[in-house]
């Protein structure tokens, strides 16, 4: 096949004046080269397309691909991850991972939680606020947890994200509203074990690749898988596969949420235990990071005995099977 790669390159955005945290979701040359290398070794031709505007230009000029391996995050708007697949749908070009509706839905964490909740799946009580004035309507039990409603890579999440007083809630929400120019998600804090679940496939045919527990070391930001903890995971985080009874409950919830949100091919569902040690849905990432060494799904695959080549080739094969190619 002729496979196109769509992506947002971190160095390009940094050179345009973006701050490192703002560009945290974007990919490195190493990741793009690694993806291209796997596809080449599978026998495919590879074309590095780049971001959505380059894709648009090349589509208008008449270029086409048999399959697009899409990891483009997009730059602007709460539906930015849906831009590339929407454009590819318009030109009837198949691609890996989920479609635009699912990507837009999952990026907006409040909308995703509403869908999950409406399917009868456990998620902590929550609220979404767009202004400071709306905080007076929030009636949730402390402690709380707050984060931007439509960011990834733990952007905007740190030690101040755990909220124990109304004054602290007001201050942190004001800071996040000003910093990220988007609504803030407020939810009751889950104090228990934290997991991320790798899932392959779609619907009833989806399967769990692994359940990975995220264990914070003593020198990590306490109680939160923060931006700093992720950036310095080698010293702050221990990742381990979980295979106990709680992990099985976690896997069942993750699969149910994956199906409810319409996800496909590969991704992750984040789950945390509440005070009664019951698993609760946190969020879903249907467009997972694929950095060859430090992305959560890649680390999980490695713990399961999968090398990078097996992971990426499996994603391509799942997309081909889904598309009947």
Q: What is the tens place of the pLDDT at every residue in 56-99? A: 999 999 999 999 999 999 989 999 999 999 999 999 999 999 99
What is d(CA 24, CA 71) in angstroms, rounded to the nearest whole number? Answer: 14
Q: In CATH, what number is assigned to the domain containing residue 86?
A: 3.40.50
Residue 279 falls inside a structural domain? yes
325 has pLDDT over 80:
no
Q: Are residues 76 and 171 in the same domain?
A: no
pLDDT at res. 66: 97
What is d(CA 314, CA 263) in angstroms, rounded to the nearest whole number? Answer: 16
Q: Are residues 315 and 200 in the same domain?
A: yes
Say which residues have a Cβ less than 8 Å from residue 305's Cβ, sequence separation at least 6: none
Residue 108 falls inside a structural domain? no
Q: Are residues 197 and 319 in the same domain?
A: yes
Is the pTM for the entire model greater than 0.85? Answer: yes
Q: Are residues 86 and 69 in the same domain?
A: yes
Q: Are residues 161 and 37 in the same domain?
A: no
Q: Are residues 217 and 301 in the same domain?
A: yes
CA 71 to chain centre: 11
Q: In CATH, what number is assigned to the domain containing residue 204?
A: 3.30.470.20
**Integer-rounded Cα radius of gyration of the chain:** 19
Residue 102 falls inside a structural domain? no
Residue 247 falls inside a structural domain? yes
Q: Is 250 helix (H, G, I), strand (E, B) or coil?
A: helix
Per-residue confidence at 125, pLDDT binned at 50, 70, 90? Answer: very high
Are the CB atoms for 120 and 252 separated by under 8 Å?
Answer: no
Per-residue confidence at 310, pLDDT binned at 50, 70, 90? Answer: very high
Q: Which of 188, 217, 234 lies at the terminal end of a domain, its last residue?
A: 188
- Count how many Cα atoms sit within 13 Å of the Cα of residue 7 in the half-sphere of its side chain: 26
Q: Which range marks the domain in which residue 67 is found?
A: 2-95
Q: In CATH, what number is assigned to the domain containing residue 168?
A: 3.30.1490.20
Residue identified by tokens 């707050």 is: 146
């Amino acid at each position: 096949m002729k496979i196109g790669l769509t992506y947002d390159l971190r160095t390009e955005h940094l050179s345009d004046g973006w701050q490192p945290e703002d560009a945290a979701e974007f990919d490195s040359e190493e990741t793009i080269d690694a993806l291209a290398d796997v596809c080449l070794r599978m026998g495919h031709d590879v074309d590095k397309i780049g971001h959505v505007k380059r894709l648009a230009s090349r589509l208008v000029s008449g270029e086409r691909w048999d399959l697009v391996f899409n990891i483009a995050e997009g730059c602007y708007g709460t539906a930015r991850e849906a831009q590339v697949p929407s454009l590819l749908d318009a030109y009837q070009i198949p691609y890996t991972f989920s479609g635009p509706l699912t990507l837009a839905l999952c990026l907006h964490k409040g909308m995703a939680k509403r869908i999950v909740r409406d399917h009868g799946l456990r998620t902590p009580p929550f609220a979404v606020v767009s202004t400071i004035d709306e905080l007076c309507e929030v009636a949730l039990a402390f402690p709380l947890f707050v984060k931007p409603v439509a960011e990834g890579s733990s952007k905007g999440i740190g030690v101040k994200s755990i909220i124990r007083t109304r004054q602290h809630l007001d201050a942190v929400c004001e800071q996040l509203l000003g910093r990220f120019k988007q609504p803030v998600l407020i939810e009751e804090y889950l104090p228990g074990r934290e997991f991320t679940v790798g899932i392959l496939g779609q619907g009833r045919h989806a399967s769990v690749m692994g359940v990975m527990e995220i264990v914070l070391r003593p020198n990590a930001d306490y109680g939160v898988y923060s931006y700093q903890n992720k950036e310095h995971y080698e010293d702050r985080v221990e990742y381990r596969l979980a295979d106990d009874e709680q992990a099985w409950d976690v896997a069942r919830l993750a699969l149910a949420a994956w199906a409810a949100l319409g996800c496909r091919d590969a991704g992750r569902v984040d789950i945390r235990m509440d005070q009664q040690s019951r698993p609760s849905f946190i969020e879903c990432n249907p467009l997972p990071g694929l950095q060859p060494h430090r992305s959560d799904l890649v680390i999980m695959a490695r713990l399961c005995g999968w090398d990078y080549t097996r992971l990426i080739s499996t994603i391509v094969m799942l997309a081909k099977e889904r598309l009947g190619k």
